[in-house]
Amino acid sequence: MTTDAQTLHEQLCEARAELSHRRITTLFDTDPGRAERYQCQSNGLVVDFSKHLIDDHVWQLLIELASAQALPAAFAGLVVGQSVNTSECRPALHTLLRGTAAEQHPENTAAVRNALTRMKTLVTRIHGGADTGWTDQAFTDVVNLGIGGSDLGPRFICDALKTPEAPLRAHFVANVDPEDLDHTLAALDPTRTLFVVCSKSFTTEETLSNAHRARAWLQAAGAPPHSLGQHFVAVTTQVTQAQQWGIPAERCLPTWDWVGGRYSLWSATGLTIPLALGWSAFEKLLGGAKNLDQHTLESPTADNLPMMMALLEFWQTRYLNANTHAVLPYAQRLQHLTDFLQQLTMESNGKRVSTTGEPLRSDSAPVLWGSTGTNGQHSYYQLLHQGTRSFSADIILPLISGSGDLPARRSLAAHALAQSRALMVGRSPDEAREIGALRGFNERECRQLEIPGNHSHSLILMEAVTPECLGALIAAYEHKTYFLAVLLGINAFDQWGVELGKEIAAAIQPFLETGATAPTTDPATLDPATRQAAIAWRKANVK
Ligand code: F6P
Name the domain count of the chain.
Answer: 3
- Kindly state whether residue 174 falls inside one of the protein's structural domains: yes
Same domain, 194 and 245: yes
Q: Which of 57-61, 402-406, 517-521 has the highest mean pLDDT?
A: 57-61
Same domain, 409 and 518: no
- Kindly state whether residue 93 falls inside one of the protein's structural domains: no
CATH number of residue 307's parent domain: 3.40.50.10490
Pocket test for ligand 1, best of 85, 144, 145, 150 (most atoms within 8 A of CB): 150
Active site includes 347? yes
Residue 369 sits at φ, ψ, to 5 deg, of -155, 180
Cα–Cα distance for residue pair 263/377, rounded to 1 Å = 30
The mean pLDDT value for 4-12 works out to 94
- Kindly state whether residue 414 falls inside one of the protein's structural domains: yes
Cα–Cα distance for residue pair 362/17, rounded to 1 Å = 17
Instruction: Determine the pLDDT at residue 402.
Output: 76
Residue 367 sits at φ, ψ, to 5 deg, of -65, 125
Same domain, 15 and 152: no
Could you say which of 206, 284, 290, 347 is catalytic? 347
Active site includes 502? yes
List CB contacts of 17: < 8 A, sequence separation 6 or more: none
Same domain, 181 and 273: yes
Instruction: Determine the pLDDT at residue 543.
Output: 83
The mean pLDDT value for 458-474 works out to 98
Same domain, 386 and 521: no
Same domain, 358 and 424: yes
The average confidence (pLDDT) of the chain is 96
Alpha helices in 378-498 (DSSP H): 381-386, 406-425, 429-438, 467-488
Instruction: Determine the pLDDT at residue 1.
Output: 67
Instruction: Determine the pLDDT at residue 515.
Output: 86
Instruction: Determine the pLDDT at residue 404.
Output: 77
Instruction: Determine the pLDDT at residue 3.
Output: 73
- Kindly state whether residue 76 falls inside one of the protein's structural domains: no
CA of 74 to the centre of ligand 1 (A): 25
Same domain, 107 and 177: yes
The mean pLDDT value for 265-289 works out to 98
Same domain, 184 and 230: yes
The domain boundary, picked from 250, 284, 318, lies at 284
Instruction: Determine the pLDDT at residue 135.
Output: 98
Cα–Cα distance for residue pair 195/193, rounded to 1 Å = 7
Range of the domain at 37: 3-68+299-488
Same domain, 119 and 232: yes
In terms of phi and psi (left: phi > 0; alpha: psi -120 to 50; beta: otherwise), the region of 518 is: beta
- Kindly state whether residue 116 falls inside one of the protein's structural domains: yes
The domain boundary, picked from 469, 488, 507, lies at 488
Same domain, 346 and 430: yes
Same domain, 315 and 391: yes
Instruction: Determine the pLDDT at residue 464.
Output: 97
**Ligand 1 binding residues, C-beta < 6 A:** 147-150, 199-201, 204, 207, 261-262, 347, 495, 498
The mean pLDDT value for 445-474 works out to 98
- Identify the residue whose C-alpha is closest to ligand 1 atom 13: 199
How long is the chain? 543
Instruction: Determine the pLDDT at residue 144.
Output: 98
Instruction: Determine the pLDDT at residue 517.
Output: 65
Q: How far is CA 216 from the centre of its chain?
A: 32
Ligand 1 atom nearest 236 alpha carbon: 14
- Kindly state whether residue 181 falls inside one of the protein's structural domains: yes
Higher pLDDT, 224 or 503: 224
- Identify the residue whose C-alpha is closest to ligand 1 atom 10: 148
- Kindly state whether residue 95 falls inside one of the protein's structural domains: no
Same domain, 196 and 310: no
Cα–Cα distance for residue pair 238/240, rounded to 1 Å = 6
Pocket test for ligand 1, best of 209, 498, 500, 504 (most atoms within 8 A of CB): 498
Could you say which of 21, 226, 378, 539 is catalytic? 378
Residue 521, pLDDT above cutoff 60: no
Active site includes 10? no
166: three-class secondary structure by DSSP: coil
77-91, 112-126, 502-516, range with the lowest pLDDT: 502-516
The mean pLDDT value for 511-533 works out to 77
170: three-class secondary structure by DSSP: strand
CA of 464 to the centre of ligand 1 (A): 31
Ligand 1 atom nearest 498 alpha carbon: 1
* pLDDT tens-digit readout, 358-380: 999 889 999 999 999 999 999 99
Cβ atoms 91, 79 nearer than 8 A: no
Cβ atoms 142, 196 nearer than 8 A: yes
CA of 472 to the centre of ligand 1 (A): 24
Instruction: Determine the pLDDT at residue 233.
Output: 98
Instruction: Determine the pLDDT at residue 406.
Output: 92
Ligand 1 atom nearest 204 alpha carbon: 16
